[in-house]
């Protein structure tokens, strides 16, 4: 079964319409930078999406303030889900890009209450590369971080 992919332009995507109040949503929480609402594809009771209010496609497109606000809202919603649904655990899930599993191209994070044997599988094949490869990967990331820090802000 094909997965729904929303590639609408900024301001016209389904989440932008929820933020604008143009379409209904079962909102859970809202502040200046984020909105939290029930996922219409509930995996388990209490499955909530936390989205940035401003249209940003991926985590890379968020401002530092928006990224912090989304995580703070996710923490707040997770604590509420723990009280309301008493799950065995909670999974926070965030996908970027089609290859990463993103289906709505407006930044959002899933807050998913979990229960033993709920059928949700989030496993991937472990590759366990040699230590020298891990060190090389770390150096590549360190270099990219240095370049990012040195780059002028736009």
DSSP of 60-90, one letter per residue? GGS-HHHHHHHHHHHHHHHHHHHHHH--SEE
Tokens at 149, concatenated: 């820090």
Angstrom distances, CA of residue 68 to CA of 17, 75, 145, 153: 23, 11, 19, 19
Non-local (6+) Cβ contacts of 10 within 8 A are 16, 55
- Stated pTM of the model: 0.87
Q: Given the residues 47, 106, 108, 132, select the one marked as catalytic.
A: 108
Residue 4 pLDDT class (50, 70, 90 cuts): low
In the predicted model, what is the mean pLDDT of residues 26-31? Answer: 98
> For the structural domain made of 14-124, what CATH number should be given?
3.30.428.10
* Mean model confidence pLDDT for the chain: 92
| Res. 139: pLDDT tops 80 | yes
Q: 48-52 and 89-93 as β-strands: parallel, antiparallel, unpaired?
A: unpaired
Q: Is 110 a catalytic residue?
A: no
Residue 59 φ/ψ, nearest 5 degrees: -60, -30
What is the reported pLDDT for 2?
Answer: 43
Does residue 32 register a pLDDT over 60? yes
**Distance from CA of residue 117 to its chain's centroid?**
23
pLDDT at 1: 37
Instruction: Supply the pLDDT for residue 122.
Output: 80
Compute the distance between CA of residue 52 and CA of residue 62 in angstroms, rounded to an integer: 8
Q: What is the DSSP letter of 21?
A: T
Supply the pLDDT for residue 149: 83
Total Cβ atoms within 10 A of residue 49: 24
Please check the confidence at residue 114 and state whether its pLDDT lies above 50.
yes
Q: What is the pLDDT of residues 123-138, one digit of tens each?
A: 888 899 999 999 999 9
């Amino acid at each position: 079964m094909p997965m729904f992919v929303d590639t609408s332009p900024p301001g016209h995507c389904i989440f932008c319409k929820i933020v604008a109040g143009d379409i209904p949503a079962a909102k859970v929480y809202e502040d200046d930078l984020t909105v939290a609402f029930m996922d219409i594809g509930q995996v388990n009771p209490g499955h909530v999406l936390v989205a940035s209010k401003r249209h940003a496609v991926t985590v890379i497109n968020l401002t530092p303030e928006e990224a912090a606000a989304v995580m703070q809202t996710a923490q707040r919603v997770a604590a509420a889900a723990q009280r309301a649904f008493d799950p065995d655990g909670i999974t926070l899930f965030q996908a970027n890009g089609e290859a990463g599993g993103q289906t709505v191209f407006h930044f959002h994070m899933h807050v998913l209450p979990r229960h033993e044997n709920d059928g949700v599988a989030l496993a991937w094949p472990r590759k366990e590369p040699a230590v020298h490869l891990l060190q090389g990967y770390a150096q590549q990331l360190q270099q990219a971080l240095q370049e990012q820090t040195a780059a002028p802000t736009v």
